[in-house]
Structure 1
Amino acid sequence: MKTISILSFTERGKLLAEKLSAALNKNHTTEVFDRRTDAKAYLSEHFAEKDVFVFICAAGIAVRLIAPLIRGKDVDPAVVVMDEFGRYAIPILSGHLGGANEAAAEIAELTGAQVILTTATDINGKFAVDVWSKYAGCKIMDVSGIKTVSSAVLAGEKIGIHSGFPFEGNMPKELTLDEAEIGICVSLAGNQKPFPTTFNVVPRIVTVGVGCRKGVGSEQFEKFLLKNLEENNIAIEAVEQIASIDLKKFETCILAFCHKYKIPFVTYTAEELAAVQGDFSGSDLVKSVAGVDNVCERSAVLGSKGGRRILSKTSGGGCTCALAMKDWKCKF
C-alpha cells in the first residue's frame, strides 16, 4: 500500500482528482490537495512523506513546483502528471526506483489514460538495472552508476554479473557471466570489484538480533553494531531489520540506531523467542531477566524466517548481537 497525494488546480482537474482518489483508495491511501491552499507550502511539508504525487495540470507547473525539492533518484518520491481530461499519464520523476512508471500504469488501468514513458531502457525494451534491483530487493550502493550501466546496455554492450548467491529465472540477454568491462556485483559486502567498472548491489536479507543493558549509550551501541557488521563483511545496506525482545521496545539506543539508518525495529515476546528451534548459547541470567535464555540469536533467526546464522552471540560494552540471513536467490 502506498501513500498518494493528488494535486489539481482547476475545477475539471478537481473532478478527475476526486474520481482517481476513489479508485486508488481501494489499494492505497490517498489525499486530495485542497487547491485553495498554497501548493508550494503543501509540497514542502509533504514531499518527503508521500510515495507518489499525481499532478493533474500542465507538466511545466508540476516541474516548477517540485524542482526545489528534488534530492536524488534513490530518495525522491514518484511523480506522475496527468492532463485534466485524463487522457495521458506521464511519469516525470523517479520512474524506476520511485515507481512512477508503475504508478502511471496503475492510474492508466483505472482511468483509461495512455501511459507516456520516456525512460530510454523502457522505450527500447532493454534491461534496466535499477528496475531489476528494486524487483530483486537489492539496495544500490551508488545510484550514479545506473547511468553507466544503462548507457552501456543501450549501446549494445554486454554487462557482466557476479553473484555470491544462486541465480533463479532467465537471465536477460544483456547480461553475461563472462568477463566484461562493466558489471553488476551482488554481495552482502557492497564493495567488491570483480569488474573494472563495478555496479554494486546489496540484497537486504540480514536480520541483526540485539540485546543490551538498560541505558546503554547510543554511540556505544552504534559502534558495537557497525564493528560487528564490518568484521563480517556486511554492509549496513544489507540489514533488513533489527530484532529483539519486546522488553527492549523502547530502548533509546536501539531506537536511535534504527532511526539514523532507517532500519525497521521488530520485537518478539519471550514465548515467541523460546519457540524458535535451534542450538543457542543460553544463559540462566538472561532467562531470569527476560524469560528466555537467549535474545539476540533467537531474534535474528526468527526475524530472518528461520534463516542461516552468520554470526553467533557476540558481546561487548553491555551489548549483544547476532546475525542471520534469510534464504535468497538472485532472481530475474
Structure 2
Amino acid sequence: MIRLSEGEIPVIEKRKPYALIAITKHGVAHARSYAEKFPYVDLYYMKKFEQGDEEARQIQLFDGSVRLLLPALFQQYKGIISIISLGAVVRMIAPLLIDKKKDPAVVVVDDKGQYVVSVLSGHIGGANALTHEFAKAIGATPVVTTASDVQKTIPVDLFGAQFGWMWDSAEKLTPVSASVVNEEHVAIVQETGEKNWWTYERSMPDHLKIYSSIDEAIHAKPQATLLITDRLIEENEKVLLENGVLYRPKSIVLGIGCNRGTAMAEIEQVIEETLAELRLSKKSVKAVASIDLKKNEAGLLEITAKYNWPFVTYSPDELNEIPMQNPSETVFKYTGAYGVSEPAAMRYANAKELLLEKKKSGNVTISIARVNFEEGE
C-alpha cells in the first residue's frame, strides 16, 4: 500500500503506460471494470475501498490525499485518467505543469462513466487520442475541445485498446508512430482479432496498407508494420518487427476441466506448456471456460484471478448443445455433460472447431478454441 504524506513523492510500481485513479465508491466500481476493458492502465484507488483481490489484480491502494499521489504519476506515466471531478483535477495538477512538450496527457471521466474529457496535452501529449480510445473501450462519449482535432489516424500505442489488445513490447512504439504520422508506407497484417478498428468517417489513408499475410507484407518492404496475431512469431517473420509493433488480440479461449483440489500451479504449468506447444501467446488468452460444477474450484479461481482472465462456466445442458468429436459416457456419468473442456471452449468462442482437442495432463484436461470474430461471440 502507498502511504502519502506532505513533501514526499511516493514510490509506485509502474507496469503500464497509463494510470487510472478513482477516489469514490462508484468511481472505484467503474475503475475496476475499466481496467479489464482497457488493458493499458495501472489502477490506483483509496485503501478504504479495498476488496481483497487487489494484490492478485496488481491494483495499488493508497492512503491519504490523491493530490499527494499525482507528482509521482506525473513523473512516470505517459497519461493519467482520473475518475475525479474536472475542477478538482485542474486545481491539483496546476502546480505540476511544466510545458506541453513535457506534461503527460490528463483525461477526466465522470463518476457515472458517461463522458471522457481531454484536459491536458491534447495533441502533443496524446490526451485527445487517449480520450477517443478510452471512450470507445468503456462505451462513453469523448469530449475534445481542441479547436482542430487532427487525430484521424491510428494511434499506435492505443491501437485496439478498446478491444483489449495489448502490444508485446513498447520498444518500437515511438518510431512506428513517427512512420504513421509522417505518412510513410505502413503495413497492417491481421491474422485474428476484431476487424472493426477503423472508426473514422473518412477512408483510411493510402500510406496505411492492409496485407493478407506476413509473406505478402515482407515482399512489399514497408517502412513500418502493425502486426496483429495470437501466434508466437517465427524467425523468418521477425524482419517485419525491425520497425514494427506486435499486437496481441484477446482471441484464445481455454476450456479446462480438472480433478477436485487440483493446485493452481499444476493448472498454470499445463496452460503454459500447451500454449508453447501450439506457438500461441498467453497475452491473447481471452477467458477460461468450464462446467458449473467447477465454478468454485480454488485452482481455477486462483489462476484466472492471477491473469485477470474472465472465468465462465456452463450448465451440462448448455455444454451438451455443442457438437463434440469426443463425447464421453464416463464424463456424462459424473457431470451430466458429454464433455467439459471442448464444448466449454467452443461455446464461449462461438467456434465450430478447436485449435486443440482435449488433452489430458495429470489432473488437468485442456482444450483451446479461437474466438470466431466473423460472427461475434
- The TM-score, its normalising length taken from structure 2, stands at 0.61
> Hey, what's the Cα distance between the residues in 2 that align with 1:214 and 1:181?
53
1:209–1:244: 8 Å Cα contact kept in structure 2?
yes
Equivalent residue in structure 1 for 2:281, among 226, 235, 244: 235
Report the counterpart of residue 230 of structure 2 in structure 1. Answer: 188
Report the counterpart of residue 338 of structure 2 in structure 1. Answer: 293
> Hey, what's the Cα distance between the residues in 2 that align with 1:107 and 1:171?
21
2:133–2:161: 8 Å Cα contact kept in structure 1?
no
Residue 149 (structure 1) aligned with residue 176 (structure 2): yes
How far residue 293 of structure 1 moved from its aligned partner, in angstroms, is: 1.5
Instruction: Tell me the amino acid that sits aligned with residue 316 of structure 2.
Output: A
Report the counterpart of residue 10 of structure 2 in structure 1. Answer: none
Report the counterpart of residue 107 of structure 2 in structure 1. Answer: 79
**Cα deviation code 1:263-315 (max 9, x no counterpart):** 11001111111112x23312222111111121000000011123531110001
**CA distance 1:325–1:81, shift in 2 (3 Å):** closer
In the alignment, structure 2 segments of 5+ residues that lack a partner are: 1-19, 35-45, 47-62, 74-79, 97-103, 111-116, 212-219
> Hey, what's the Cα distance between the residues in 1 that align with 2:325 and 2:340?
9
Report the counterpart of residue 247 of structure 1 in structure 2. Answer: 293
Aligned residues: 275
Between 290-299 and 185-194, the greater mean CA deviation after superposition: 185-194
Structure-to-structure mapping, 1:143-222, within 5 angstroms = 143-165=170-192, 171-176=204-209, 177=211, 178-191=220-233, 193-195=238-240, 196-222=242-268
**Cα deviation code 1:48-101 (max 9, x no counterpart):** xx9752431464723778xxxxxxx9xxx973299xxxxx85156884786476
Report the counterpart of residue 87 of structure 2 in structure 1. Answer: 56
Instruction: Tell me the amino acid that sits aligned with residue 268 of structure 1.
Output: Y
Instruction: Tell me the amino acid that sits aligned with residue 90 of structure 1.
Output: V
Instruction: Tell me the amino acid that sits aligned with residue 156 of structure 1.
Output: E
1:91–1:100: 8 Å Cα contact kept in structure 2?
no
> Hey, what's the Cα distance between the residues in 2 that align with 1:219 and 1:97?
40
In the alignment, structure 1 segments of 5+ residues that lack a partner are: 8-20, 66-72, 83-87, 109-113
1:140–1:200: 8 Å Cα contact kept in structure 2?
yes
Residue 106 (structure 1) aligned with residue 117 (structure 2): no
Residue 322 (structure 1) aligned with residue 346 (structure 2): no
> Hey, what's the Cα distance between the residues in 1 that align with 2:129 and 2:317?
39
Residue 283 (structure 1) aligned with residue 328 (structure 2): yes
Indicate the percent of aligned positions where both proteins have the same amino acid. 22
> Hey, what's the Cα distance between the residues in 2 that align with 1:252 and 1:310?
26
How far residue 228 of structure 1 moved from its aligned partner, in angstroms, is: 0.6
2:83–2:108: 8 Å Cα contact kept in structure 1?
yes
1:117–1:123: 8 Å Cα contact kept in structure 2?
no
